[in-house]
Chain A
Amino acid sequence: MSDVSLMVNGKRVSGTAEDRTLLVHFLRENLGLTGTHVGCDTSQCGACVVHVDGKAVKSCSMLAVQASGSNIVTIEGLANGADLHPVQAAFKEHHGLQCGFCTPGMIMTATDMIARHPEGLDEATVRAELEGNICRCTGYHNIVKAILAASKTMAKGAKGKAKQAA
């Protein structure tokens, strides 16, 4: 057993876990953050993607104790109160989901992708960047549409903020 201490969605949390406990299970079972999903158990599907120290990684392929000391953001940490994050809003608007199982991972991957491409995204880039996230229902079409739309909204938002600052 080890002590695991994390910053999760802006709150300091700690607990003990067996060293073999995966980060995803620690989030779901110890912290009750069940928005992060376990899809495949083979590290391929990306339903478990969370941000660890600002990077979108698969929480099923990392031990909780490995992450100890890190800053974690899960799907529960994206919205600002009742206001959805722009990527969440775009998935809703463009119907980027059917059953919704892969959606938390898709959204966490998308926010990271958009942050890494401040110059904007095109369809081919979005599809290539989604290589580690599997969706069985949608055929990806509306997911790609939602991410492209969110990328545009967020670029406008960033410009607006820059204007305000100036």
Chain B
Amino acid sequence: MYSVNYHRATSVADAAKLVKSGDAKLLSGGMTLIPAMKTRLAAPSDLVDLSRIKELQGVKVSGKTVNIGAATTHYDVASDEKLMKVCPALAHMASLIGDPAVRYKGTIGGSVANNDPAADYPAALLALGATIVTNKREISAAKFFTGLFETALKDGEIITAVSFAAPAKAAYEKFRNPASRYAIVGVFVAKGKDGVSVAVTGAGDDGVFRSKEIEAALAKNFSAAALDGVKVPAKNLMTDLHASAEYRANLVAVMAKRAVAAANA
């Protein structure tokens, strides 16, 4: 790892000031950033640690509205009893991220800001029609995730929370790479008052996306059987040594089917 200066922020305002120094990066759980720094893929001059800021932590549920602080860990999301009541699909999704040690440290804000094309949260937030709240503004998930590791965040902008209305039904299913355990394809299905939305991670050439074909089939009939014979085009899907675009296209339909079955169960 290259040399770095560490700063522990005491508040969001403090972090906003600190992040202006040099080529600073925000540090939350560090489950991607620290390994990237170890391999010298990332070399920030300064790190601004957000993980001890109280105002960024915790899950709040009021009625159907869910608000999750950006520094809330995957473990805390997965084990939050209020969330399990209103949106068990998201708690379950958080329990599938990485491994137990990673879930104790990694945070929702960190995952969303990094926007790894195989990360789980981007699919969930896009399907849930979530809002990403920063220290400057509110951004809809649809406008937030802009490409591979790319987001609408401006330099120095800090995610403070994520909020959404709990859907009537939802589920997440992922097909994991057997070695890395990252999603080769992950599908989050949500049926809310604005209809059905289906978001796919791990497969898109340009990161997370909504599958129009699957959504159209489910809009008429929200059942696994409605997806029989539905074809997802392989165009704009990733091909790598783990799976071809065509294989991923097929997996999108299969995972969507499983997710709908789980959501209806």
* Chain B residues, Cβ within 8 Å of A37: none
A8 within 8 A of B: no
| Measured CA separation A131–B101 after assembly (Å) | 9
CB closest chain-B residue, reference A105: B101
A131 touches B4 (CB 8 A): no
A48: nearest chain-B partner, CB-CB: B101
- Give CA–CA (A22, B105) in the complex, Å: 15
Bound-state Cα–Cα, A57 to B73, Å: 12
Nearest Cβ distance between residue A46 and chain B, in whole angstroms? 7
B192 at the interface (CB under 8 A from A): no
The stretch from A59-67, A89-97, A145-153 touching chain B is A59-67
Q: Is the CB of B31 within 8 A of A61?
A: yes
The residues in B between 22 and 62 inclusive whose CB is less than 8 angstroms from any CB of A are 27, 30-31, 34-35, 37-39, 47, 49, 51
B100 x A129 contact (CB < 8 A): yes
* Nearest CB of B to A116, in Å: 8
Task: Tell me if B6 and A58 are in contact (CB < 8 A).
Answer: no
Q: CB-CB < 8 A to A56: which residues of B?
A: 100-101, 104
Q: How far is the CA of A145 from the CA of B31 in the complex (A)?
A: 30
Partner of A66, one of B2, B6, B31, B102: B6
B2 shortest CB reach to chain A, Å: 7
Q: How large is the interface on B (under 10, 10 to 19, 20 to 34, 35 or more residues)?
A: 20 to 34
Structural contact, A61 and B100, CB atoms closer than 8 A: no
Q: Say whether B98 faces chain A, with CB atoms less than 8 Å apart.
A: yes
A22 to B35, alpha carbons, bound, how many Å?
A: 11
- Please give, as numbers and ranges, the residues of chain B lying within 8 Å of A49 by CB-CB distance: 101
Residues of A contacting B: mostly:
mixed
Q: Chain B nearest CB: distance from A2 CB in Å?
A: 6
Query: What is the chain A residue whose CB lies nearest that of B99?
Result: A132
- What is the chain B residue whose CB lies nearest that of A56? B101
CA distance in complex: A112, B104 (Å): 11
Bound CA–CA A60/B1 (angstroms): 12
Tell me, yes or no, whether A111 is within 8 Å of chain B by CB. no
Question: What are the residues of chain A within 8 A of B35 when measuring CB–CB?
Answer: 42-43, 61
Given A61-B31, A63-B6, the answer on whether A109 and B38 have CB atoms closer than 8 Å is: no
- Interface class of chain B by DSSP: mixed
B34 touches A62 (CB 8 A): yes
Judge whether B101 and A19 touch: CB under 8 Å. Answer: no
Minimum CB–CB distance for A90 against chain B, Å: 19
A20 interfacial by beta-carbon distance below 8 Å: yes
How far apart are B92's CB and chain A's nearest CB, in angstroms? 13
Of B6, B49, B75, B101, the contact of A109 (CB 8 Å cutoff): B101
Q: Is the CB of A20 within 8 A of B101?
A: no
Map CB proximity to B onto A31-42 as digits: 1 under 8 Å, 0 otherwise: 000000000011
Tell me whether A55 is interfacial, beta carbon within 8 Å. yes
Does A112 contact B100, Cβ atoms closer than 8 Å?
A: yes
- Pairs A–B under 8 Å by Cβ, sample size 11: A19-B3, A22-B1, A22-B34, A57-B101, A58-B102, A61-B34, A61-B35, A62-B105, A65-B6, A66-B30, A132-B102
10 smallest CB-CB distances across A and B, nearest first, come from: A132-B99, A19-B6, A131-B99, A55-B104, A43-B35, A20-B1, A132-B101, A65-B6, A58-B101, A61-B34
List 19 other contacts, CB 8 Å, given A20-B37, A62-B30: A19-B5, A22-B1, A41-B38, A42-B39, A43-B35, A49-B101, A55-B104, A57-B104, A60-B38, A61-B30, A63-B30, A63-B47, A66-B49, A109-B101, A113-B100, A131-B98, A131-B181, A132-B100, A132-B101
Chain A residues within CB distance 8 Å of chain B: 2, 18-20, 22, 41-43, 46, 49, 55-58, 60-63, 65-66, 109, 112-113, 129, 131-133
